[in-house]
Amino acid sequence: DYELCEEWGHLYPVPREDLINLHREHLLHLLEMGDMEKALQLLQRIEDPGICLAISEQSLDQHPNLAASHFLADYLTAHFYVNLTTARRHEIQALYMGSKVLLTLPEVSRVNYFHLSSRPLLMLEQLLMNMKVDWVAAAVQTLHQLLTGQEIGFTVEDIDNLLSKYAEKALSFPFALKERRS
């Protein structure tokens, strides 16, 4: 049905908003089905870069599943980096990194941290608080690789400071000294 509507759009004038809505719904459908190749082909068929940017951004704002969010964040960064505001760029790159970190976690646990996918530092902190040390190690390694040469609102030093803070908390043993009575 989407393809029929797309053909109809080539034959008759369709308002810009309706065209954006059609392509957005088609894109989200393809991404939910896991067909990244067809999703990419759909985006490549759209001739107007403004419409393609709007479709991609609106689709990302719908908060699709993990794979779809990762695909859209990667696509927007690769094709529309200069068209995005600095704040939006940081937001999309953080989502990309967060989804990449989520992909390092065991599949059954991803759902517990998905809501933090756009906030990788907070996800890291949550993993630390949940004592998932092995997962933290994989997440930190992934973030270190992704942050090389990136400017997204946090740095490797922020990660190191977070780790130091929790390491310090893990080593502090609050206790009260008992007085000796004679």
Cα separation of 31 and 12, whole Å?
27
Spans of all domains in the chain: 1-84, 88-171
pLDDT-flagged residues of the chain (< 50): none
Predicted pLDDT of residue 54: 93
Predicted pLDDT of residue 72: 92
Predicted pLDDT of residue 29: 92
Cα separation of 72 and 60, whole Å?
6
Cα separation of 174 and 178, whole Å?
13
Predicted pLDDT of residue 174: 67
Pull the structure tokens for residue 18.
């309706």
Which residue type does 158 have?
D
